[in-house]
Structure formats: C-alpha cells, structure tokens
C-alpha cells in the first residue's frame, strides 16, 4: 500500500507542466485512481483492518492532494510572472514618432516670477505666505474689513455676486481677516492671489488680476515700520534704491490710510509722460490697521496694532516691463510669453 502511495506521489511531483499535472491528477485522484483502488476491497476486511485502512486512505488523500496543490500553485505563479514579464512596458523610452514640439519647454509667467521673488523676500523677513479662497464670503471680503452694507466703498469694487452672500473676492484683503482669525497676534503674513472685479475690459482694466496683501501685527507698530518694509520691498523688486512718499488715502480697514508713491524710475523725478510730469508714480495703498478691524477678528487693539498694504502684482509687472496693455497678461499669446 505504501509503495502504491509513494509511486503516486512521485508521479505527481515529476509533472513538468500544468497539463501533465492535470493528467496525473485524473489518474491518481480520479475514480480509477490509487485511492479508489485502496477502498475497493474494504468490504472484505475485518472491522479493525477497515479502521486502519480508512485512516491510511485519509492520510494518503491529504498528502496526494497537498502535493498536487503545491505544484499547481507553483505552475500558476510561474505563468503569471511570465505574463507580467511579457507585458512590461518601459515608459521612459523616448518616442520616435512624437518628437518634442518645436516650442520647447515653457517658462514661468512674469506674474508668477514677481510673486515668487516677493514671497522669498518676505519669508526672509519672517512673514508667512498664506492662501485664501477665491470664492469668499461677504463677511470676509467686506464686513470684517469695516465695509458694511451700503458703505460707499462697496461701490468702488464692482463685485461678481454669487448665491448666499458669497462673491468672487474683489481683493486679497479678506486673507488678512483669515490670518488674524487663524493665527492671531503677533502676525506677519502676505497673501498673493487672483482677484475679480465686474469691470468692462480695456487697456488698463481686467476682470481678473493679481494682488498681494501684506499685514504685520505686533506691539507698537509705527508708520516708520511700514515705510521701512515698503522701501525694502520696492528696492528689491526694482533692484535699486527707491524714494517713496506717503499721501493720505482712504480705505475703511486702515486708519490712517495712505497712498504710497515712488519717485518715477524713468525720469528720476524730473517729470516725464510715464509719471504725467509729476515725478511720482502711485504704487501701493497701505496704512495702520483700523482698531475696529482688529477687534472684529478677536484681537485686542489696546495691546496690538499693525500695518497692512495691498500691492497690485499685475500693475507692478506692467511697470517693471513697460507693458502698456493689461490684456496681454492673460492672453496666452506665445509671442508675448516667450519674452520672459
């Protein structure tokens, strides 16, 4: 009996292919196989012998099936490996049929370039770069900046209104509010981003453009601090010393509010068409944060104060490269973009 079992096991293990194994399985484990033979004369055995035979048959069945399953799964995994091998694809092989377009690689948009430069500068001065949503709430875009409903300042910013007191942000100032709410004082932050105004488009107006908002909140912040940071910013951008002056300007979220002008970089202040003969170019609205704005965002104005500024990135790029039509910037025109 043991011999019979051993030779059956050997036959299974000697199978070289899945097909051969299957044929052996039918022969060995099938209706006419070894196990069937072993059970055939069971009737003639004594009760004791029958019990012993039964036990033997069970173990034999287990070892034969075990050997069969083991070999079968080895054939299967071999087959799978072979298939995967044949399906392997080298995605890094350059295609001979689709060469790179003649335009070559692209470059950064001039607005992105200037934005990244300013981000680097302010990071080095300890400012965080924050992001805010383009779809804003009326609260963040207006109310929390001290521009309540019916305030005339709302009319200065023609707004794309959305449903449910939402809107496309008209400036990056709402990110100030989010910064104050989230981080609290002391705070140094800038927030570059896209803003939207419901304007008719011409050479100097776009419905979509870029701004960069800045804010610093600390103890005893002065107009001197504000001027220092603005001069540092502008010298860095224009790569030379700039002379600045402050004029009063009105924005509900700052008090006092200023318009910061720089001495015209084209004529050096003597007067030319770019500065409309005045020697000065208006560049940057700013001011000391209105205590009411601090209070609305949960900051105690008796302990903290700060400055804020709003830089028109699109405007700045136009000045830097003497671009005379704002529509170029979003035109996607390669003749324009290739110059940067």
Q: Cis peptide before 314, with omega less than 30 degrees from 0?
A: no
171 lies in the binding site for ligand DAH (CB under 6 A): yes
188 lies in the binding site for ligand DAH (CB under 6 A): no
- Compute how many residues bind ligand DAH; rule: CB under 6 A: 11
191 lies in the binding site for ligand DAH (CB under 6 A): no
The minimum distance between CB 328 and ligand DAH, in angstroms, equals 21
Name the residue nearer to ligand DAH (CB basis): 68 or 253. 253
286 lies in the binding site for ligand DAH (CB under 6 A): yes
Name the residue nearer to ligand DAH (CB basis): 68 or 307. 307
Identify residues 291-320 at the interface with ligand DAH (CB under 6 A).
Answer: 308-310
Residue 157 · residue 141 · CB < 8 Å? no
- Nearest to ligand DAH by Cβ — which residue? 310
173 lies in the binding site for ligand DAH (CB under 6 A): yes
Name the residue nearer to ligand DAH (CB basis): 185 or 287. 287
The minimum distance between CB 251 and ligand DAH, in angstroms, equals 4
The minimum distance between CB 254 and ligand DAH, in angstroms, equals 4
The minimum distance between CB 319 and ligand DAH, in angstroms, equals 17
Identify residues 230-259 at the interface with ligand DAH (CB under 6 A).
Answer: 251, 254
Identify residues 8-67 at the interface with ligand DAH (CB under 6 A).
Answer: none
The minimum distance between CB 153 and ligand DAH, in angstroms, equals 9
The minimum distance between CB 282 and ligand DAH, in angstroms, equals 12
174 lies in the binding site for ligand DAH (CB under 6 A): no
Contact pick of 287, 299, 314, 317 for ligand DAH (by CB under 6 A): 287
Name the residue nearer to ligand DAH (CB basis): 20 or 119. 119
Three-class secondary structure assignment of the chain: CHHHHHHHHHHHHCCCCHHHHHHHHHHHHCCCCHHHHHHHHHHHCCHHHHHHHHHHHHHHHHHHHHHHHHHHHHHHHHHHHHHHHHHCCCCCCCCCCCCCCCCCCCCCCHHHHHHHHHHHHHHHCCCEECCCCCEEEHHHHCHHHCCCCCCHHHHHCCCCECCCCEEECCCCCHHHHHHHHHHCCCEEEEEEEEEECCCCCECCECCEEEEEEEEEEECCCCHHHHHHHHHHHHHHHHCCCCCEEEEECCCCCEEEEEEEEEECCCCCCCCCCCCCCCCEEEEEEEEEECHHHHHHCCCCCCCCEEEEEEEEHHHHHHHHHCCCCHHHHHCCCHHHHCCC
Binding site for ligand DAH (CB under 6 A): 171, 173, 213, 251, 254, 285-287, 308-310
């Amino acid at each position: 009996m043991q011999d019979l079992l051993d030779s059956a096991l050997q036959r299974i293990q000697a199978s070289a292919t899945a097909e051969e194994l299957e044929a052996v399985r039918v022969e060995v484990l099938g209706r006419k196989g070894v196990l069937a033979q072993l059970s055939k004369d069971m009737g003639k055995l004594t009760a004791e012998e029958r019990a012993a035979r039964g036990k033997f048959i069970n173990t034999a069945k287990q070892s034969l099936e075990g050997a069969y399953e083991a070999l079968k799964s080895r054939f299967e995994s071999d087959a799978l490996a072979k298939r995967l091998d044949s399906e392997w694809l080298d995605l890094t092989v350059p295609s001979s049929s689709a060469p790179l377009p003649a335009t070559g690689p692209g470059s950064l948009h001039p607005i992105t370039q200037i934005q990244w430069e300013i981000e680097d500068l302010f990071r080095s001065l300890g400012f965080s770069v924050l992001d805010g949503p383009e779809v804003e709430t009326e609260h963040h875009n207006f109310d929390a900046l001290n521009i309540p409903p019916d305030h005339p300042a709302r009319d200065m910013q023609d707004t794309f209104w959305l449903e449910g007191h939402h809107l496309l942000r008209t400036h990056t100032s709402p990110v100030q509010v989010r910064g104050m709410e989230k981080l609290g004082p002391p705070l140094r932050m800038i927030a570059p981003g896209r803003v939207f105004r419901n304007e008719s488009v011409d050479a100097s107006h776009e419905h979509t453009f870029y701004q960069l908002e800045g804010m610093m909140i600390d103890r005893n912040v002065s107009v001197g601090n504000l001027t220092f940071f603005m001069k540092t910013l502008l010298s860095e951008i224009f790569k030379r010393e700039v002379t600045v002056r402050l004029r009063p300007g009105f924005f509900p979220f700052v008090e006092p509010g200023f318009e910061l002008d720089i001495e015209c970089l084209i004529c050096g202040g003597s007067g030319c068409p770019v500065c409309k003969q005045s020697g000065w170019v208006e560049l940057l609205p700013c001011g000391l944060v209105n205590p009411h704005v601090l209070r609305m965002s949960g900051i105690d104005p008796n302990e903290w104060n700060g400055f804020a500024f709003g830089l028109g990135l699109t405007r700045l790029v136009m000045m830097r490269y003497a671009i005379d039509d704002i529509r170029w910037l979003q035109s996607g025109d390669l003749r324009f973009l290739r110059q940067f």
